[in-house]
Amino acid sequence: MTMISKPDTRPANPNFSSGPCAKRPGWSLEALADAPLGRSHRAKTGKTKLQYAIDLTREVLQVPADWRIGIVPASDTGAVEMALWSLLGERGVDMVAWESFGAGWVTDVVKQLKLPDVRKIEADYGVLPDLAQIDFNRDVVFTWNGTTSGVRVPNADFIPADREGLTICDATSAAFAQRLDFTKLDVVTFSWQKVLGGEGAHGMLILSPRAVARLESYTPSWPMPKIFRMTKGGKLIEGIFKGETINTPSMLCVEDYIDALEWSKSIGGLDGLVGRAEANFAVLNAFVEKSDWLANLAVDPVTRSNTSVCLTIVDPQVAALDKDAQAAFAKGIVSALEKEVVAYDIGAYRDAPSGLRIWTGATVETADVEKLTAWLDWAFAQQKAALKADA
């Protein structure tokens, strides 16, 4: 095959990881100078910061005024687990999954909570399951954007307004880059480390009035760990949703999240964030559509993520290799780009089909995506030449 010359320019920021993701443009440690380090999060200054983070979240994400927003432990995983352990069991539940994280929630509900009435509505990587199979008289758990498959629901039209069950949505790689219809979502979870490029270990839990009503009227039959408890005496612990966190948060991370939210406001809020992600995805998708060796793992263009873009290598010679050799080929591309300080951490998720996963969320610069595409062709050519030499 024809060798490709090494491109002349590199992305200014090589961070294309799908979590933790790139910091906002222009970020520096100086942005965190106002963090109340060495102070109690229960002191007035700490509570004020935590409440401000919640208020900014509501403003930027356009969360309705009567939906509660809380900062909770253990990233998005902690937020989802709080919802599953606290809310499920009152009725049957439909678990909807099409990638590894959704499959993980299925495992938790079936094998850990051991609920007796669980239906699994699943699909393989690359496609959505048949959403028409969902019974919304039951509780429903699903991911909005499959981080490890690059497949998302395009909108909330499949969810009826007059549902009887609750909808529990893991939106961690969708929030701030895709529009969430909160009127159709009773629980929404995400972490700071995805679209806004925040730090890990903190989760966000957003509850609709219907979810609060369930919490106050239903008590699960199993013991509830302290960090999952959201009610006391049959009433919601309102302090959780006013900055009085269950456990001790990092005020440095809180300050970083506030910085990201203020930056979001400066670029036009949710419209600006979605627009940046869409522009980034459009550049990468146009490159993939013209490529003779790469393809989107997401089959239907309507369901393709604009954040965690998952790609498969479809070159005939590579596709003819066994799975281990295909994975090694993809890892060779990833390693070559990391060595050149072009792109870090763009390998497919460990449980997903081998290939690449490139983050195009709002904190990534479109110019960097454009520069990356030339390097992708270069790295592929290098690996293909090595493959031919070994043949």
Sketch out the chain's domains with CATH numbers: 29-265 (3.40.640.10), 269-390 (3.90.1150.10)
**pLDDT at residue 16, as a whole number:** 98
**What mean pLDDT is reported for the chain?**
97
Instruction: Give dist(CA 16, CA 10) in Å, integer.
Output: 13
Count the helix, strand and coil residues of the chain and give each as a percent rounded to the nearest 5. 40, 15, 45
Would you say residue 390 has pLDDT above 80? no
Report yes or no: 310 and 348 within 8 Å, Cβ to Cβ: yes
Report yes or no: 186 and 138 within 8 Å, Cβ to Cβ: no
Task: Say whether 168 sits in a helix, a strand or coil.
Answer: strand
User: Over the stretch 176-200, which tens digit does the pLDDT of each residue have?
Assistant: 999 999 999 999 999 999 999 999 9
**pLDDT at residue 2, as a whole number:** 63
Residues 6+ apart with CB under 8 A from 155: 179, 181
Which is more confident, 154 or 1? 154
- Per the listing, tokens 């102070």 go with 39
Two structure tokens written together for 183: 């009127």
User: Over the stretch 314-367, which tens digit does the pLDDT of each residue have?
Assistant: 999 999 999 999 999 999 999 999 999 999 999 999 999 999 999 999 999 999
β-sheet bridge partners, residue 347? 356
Would you say residue 4 has pLDDT above 90? no
Where would I find the H helices in the chain? 44-61, 75-87, 100-107, 209-217, 251-266, 269-290, 316-319, 323-339, 366-390
The pTM is what? 0.97
Would you say residue 391 has pLDDT above 90? no
Would you say residue 1 has pLDDT above 60? no
Where residue 95 falls among pLDDT bands split at 50, 70, 90? very high
User: Over the stretch 228-249, which tens digit does the pLDDT of each residue have?
Assistant: 999 999 999 999 999 999 999 9
Q: Summarize the confidence of residues 304-319 as an average pLDDT.
A: 97
The DSSP 8-state label assigned to residue 301 in this structure reads G
CA atoms within 13 A on the CB side of 99: 28
Q: Which of 92, 262, 88, 245 is nearest to 168 (CA)?
A: 88
User: Over the stretch 30-83, which tens digit does the pLDDT of each residue have?
Assistant: 999 999 999 999 999 999 999 999 999 999 999 999 999 999 999 999 999 999
Q: Which of 312, 315, 305 is nearest to 347 (CA)?
A: 312
Other C-beta atoms lying within 10 Å of the C-beta of residue 51: 15
Where residue 389 falls among pLDDT bands split at 50, 70, 90? confident
Would you say residue 161 has pLDDT above 90? yes
Task: Show the CA angle centred on residue 371, arms to residues 370 and 375, nearest 5°.
Answer: 120
Phi, psi (5° rounding) for residue 52? -65, -40
Report yes or no: 188 and 180 within 8 Å, Cβ to Cβ: yes
